[in-house]
Amino acid sequence: MHTEPYIPASFWTERVLGFTAFGFIRVGLISLGLILLGHVEMPRGTALPIWGFHVASRNTGRNREMEAFHYRVNTPLRNSNNYNTVFLVSMQRMISVQACNSARLLTVSSTSAAPPAKNNKKRTPRDYSAKTSISTSRPGSSNPAGKTQKLNLEVSPHRAVSAVRLMRIELGGAFADLLNDQGKGSGDNEMGYVERTLGFRTRDLADRDLRLVTEIVGGTIRWRRYLDHLILSLCHDENTFRGMEPLLLQILRIGFYEIVKLDMPPYAVVDENVRLAKIALRPGAGNMVNGILRKLVVIKESNSLPSPKVEGDDRQKARALAIIHSHPVWMVRRWMKYLGQEKAIELMTWNNSDPYFSLRANAGKGFTRADLVTQLEMFKVPYELSAHLDDFVRIKTGMQVVIQAGLLKRGLCSVQDESAGLVVSVVDPRPGDTIVDCCAAPGGKTLFMASQLSGQGRICAIDINEGRLRILKETAELHEVDNVVTTTHADLRTFAGKNCVKSDKVLLDTPCSGLGVLSKRADLRWNRRLEDMKELKHLQDELLDAASMLVKIGGVLIYSTCSIDPEENEERVVAFLQRHPEFYIDPADRYVPSNFVTEHGFYSSNPVEHSLDGAFAARLVRSR
């Protein structure tokens, strides 16, 4: 026979009295806390969990406003109109986390020591899942005690700076406007934002961290399409990837690049990027980063990274190659058409490789290549002499050393690719020449030509961008060639019609797609569209017609681009000659090595054939 166990009356008396006393103590503590909050200024957004209750600071109204704002704007990444608003909320969270650091650590320690009590008042958790699949909350996984999670706030500086810089590049002007009320978006404002939100200054970064920032930002941009392919393949579904906030996606790209391309210790990469996601966004974002990166580690260690097969028709092959080599599909199809598949792959491999840099000694200031070599050897910067130009040397590493040594700041040398220097060789500036440099800013070719005039002659530098033209003028003064360089702020198309003075030589370094310099301009491949090519061709024709009006009889018009696309190069010259039969081609083999000269007499440098940036120049003489 079953009998209920005997419970003495004293047991219930003790429990009732104890619970009552405990309740009074608890109510008293809550009241005391509310009184203190009325007299003590707490950081914005601070929340104090007191045994199951969440007592917010004075700014609860503002907190609810920001939560509602985040709910409204947390829309999928592919809706570019919401880039800036989503990231604005991320910035607010980063600032709030840093401000609440001390209070959080204190409250975590106190709440962990106290037993959680039942909370009869149901608290609605913050909802981040609107129109996105970032949220990691599941039924039954809420935190009833309302404990504030303790976050490890030690973030790798180079990863934090890289994430912010990638946001700046991808969002462009929208991000710059967020950093600066005037919309200038300077680098100082960008780094000031990092300092305010993450608590360290860029100038305090070690040289190693600065190099890592350069490597990670450049590499992540170059390999963006391939990295996104990997991230998508490891997400739960496509909606998860499409719904990611921009900052979360940048953090994942950084982690994938470090693991796949830099071969960094995988679990260290996972840990650091999880921390960054938790601080910059929220703990749930850190959980997502943790899960996806750990999947990547597993498949990389098993050599089973997903890669598309290059098969099918040309369109299908182009799509596969675009993923493998991380380029826009339209570019790949275009290069396969003009170069063939093998050459197109070589070109994309070049674009994804670490770029070299060329330094030009400033002969106009009396600083020779021998002097430059002496400086490089003194600072132990590896170099090689240019095989094509007497004033140039090439370096693969050590650019930070050159900058810190002040060689650029003092005007002793300039960063200029040899392909651009060879365009100046096609111009063939000589003492006494009058030269018009159309679309001159930022002025690399202008300054090189000025250094060859030996103080005799004149260069009129024209550009439509007044700010860049001002920089050109200041640099000319620094290089001590301002006695032969004058600047004019104007649109060439209107300037040419009003100017009746004819010049010996006119250089038109026209706006172009820049498809020849993608190794150094990593972001350019993602900023160009197929539609741009049609617009550029029309602009180039207009500028050519205008520039031709400035050339005297017997003078020379030099048309140049930094593109390898035939439609911007040879085809534009042919169309111009049909409109202007008074001009004829002067073969470039008298001015540059013959291996740079095409069958039609044009100068052309190709990254695959010459290991230089892509460039083009045609020398056209006016006969009447």
pLDDT value of residue 168: 80
511 is in an annotated binding site: no
Q: Which residue reads 């149901």 in tokens?
A: 122
Q: Which residues in 53-129 belong to E strands, given as ranges?
A: 53-56
Location of structure tokens 């590049």: 169
What is residue 203's predicted lDDT score, i.e. its pLDDT?
55
Question: β-strand 434-438 against 458-463: which pairing, if any?
Answer: parallel
Instruction: Write out 345-375 in H/E/C secondary structure.
Output: HHHHHHHCCCCCEEEEECHHHCCCHHHHHHH
CB 495 within 8 A of CB 462: yes
Q: Output b/e per residue, 569-599; b: 16+ Cβ within 10 A.
A: bbebbeebeeeeeebeebebeebbeeebbee
Residue 404: name the closest of 203, 166, 216, 219 by CA: 203
- Model confidence over 300-346: pLDDT tens digits? 999 999 999 999 999 999 999 999 999 999 999 999 999 999 999 99
Percent of the chain having pLDDT more than 70? 70
Q: Does 176 count as an annotated binding residue?
A: no
For the stretch 574-605, pLDDT in tens is 999 999 999 999 999 999 999 999 999 999 99
Q: What does the alpha-carbon distance between residue 479 and residue 408 come to, in Å, rounded to a whole number?
A: 10
Q: How confident is the model at residue 74 (pLDDT cuts 50, 70, 90)?
A: very low
On whether the CB atoms of residues 391 and 363 are closer than 8 A, the answer is yes
H/E segment holding residue 621: strand 615-622
Task: Tell me the pLDDT tens digit for each residue of 126-147.
Answer: 333 333 222 333 333 333 333 3
DSSP notation for 465-498: -HHHHHHHHHHHHHTT-TTTEEEEES-HHHHHHH
What pLDDT is attached to residue 248? Answer: 93
Pairing, β 503-509 against β 434-438? parallel
Query: In the CATH scheme, what is the code of domain 358-415?
Result: 3.30.70
Q: Which pLDDT score, from 0 to 100, does residue 106 have?
A: 33
Q: How far apart are CA 381 and CA 395, in angstroms?
A: 8
Q: What is the pLDDT of residue 307?
A: 93
Percent of the chain with pLDDT over 90: 59
Task: Write out pLDDT tens, residues 368-394.
Answer: 999 999 999 999 999 999 999 999 999
> What's the average model confidence in pLDDT over 168-184?
50
- pLDDT tens by residue, 225-249: 999 999 999 998 889 999 999 889 9
Question: What count of residues does the chain have?
Answer: 624
Active-site residue among 100, 413, 512, 562?
A: 562
d(CA 304, CA 296): 10
562 is catalytic: yes
| 557-571 pLDDT, tens digit each | 999 999 999 999 999
Residue 611: Cβ within 10 Å count = 13
CB neighbour list of residue 182: distance below 8 Å, 6 or more residues apart: none
pLDDT number for residue 30: 54
How far is residue 551 from each of residues 441, 452, 501, 560, 583, measured CA to CA in Å? Answer: 20, 20, 9, 16, 10
Model confidence pLDDT, tens digit, residues 8-41: 555 445 554 555 555 555 555 555 554 444 443 3
Confidence of residue 573 (pLDDT cuts 50, 70, 90): very high
HEC sequence for 436-471: EEECCCCCHHHHHHHHCCCCCCEEEEEECCHHHHHH
pLDDT at residue 21 in the model: 53
pLDDT at 34: 46
For residue 463, say whether it is annotated as part of any ligand binding site: yes
Whether residue 443 is annotated as binding a ligand: the answer is yes
441 is in an annotated binding site: yes
Mean pLDDT over the full length of the chain: 78
Evaluated on CA atoms 45, 50, 55, 58, the torsion sign reads: negative
Task: Find out whether 509 is annotated in a ligand binding site.
Answer: yes
- DSSP secondary structure of 12-54: HHHHHHHHHHHHHHHHHHHHHHHHHHHHSPPPTT-EEEETTEE
pLDDT of residue 210: 80
b (16+ CB within 10 A) / e for 111-124: beeeeeeeeeeeee
CA 346 from chain centre, in angstroms, equals: 24
CA distance 515 to 525: 8
Higher pLDDT, residue 528 or 50: 528
Domain residues of the chain, as ranges? Answer: 314-351, 358-415, 422-521+529-622
Q: What is the pTM of this model?
A: 0.73
**What's the pLDDT tens digit per position in 185-211?**
334 444 454 444 444 455 567 778 888
Q: 568 and 514 in contact (C-beta within 8 Å)?
A: no
Would you say 531 and 598 are in contact if contact means Cβ atoms under 8 Å apart? Answer: no
Of residues 90 and 142, more confidence is placed in 90
Question: What letter would DSSP give residue 149?
Answer: P
Residue 548: exposed, middle, or buried by beta-carbon count in 10 A (0-12, 13-18, 19+)? buried
Say if domain 422-521+529-622 classifies as CATH 3.40.50.150. Answer: yes
Among 149-158, 240-249, 444-453, the range with the most confident prediction by mean pLDDT is: 444-453
Give residue 315's pLDDT: 95
How far, in Å, are 11, 20, 28, 35 from residue 24 at the CA level? Answer: 20, 6, 6, 16
444 assigned ligand-binding residue: yes
For residue 488, the tally of other CB atoms under 10 A from its CB is: 14
235 is in an annotated binding site: no
| Per-residue confidence (pLDDT) for residue 473, from 0 to 100 | 95
Selection from 253, 265, 246 nearest residue 227 by Cα: 253
pLDDT recorded at residue 288: 95
* 287-296: average pLDDT: 96
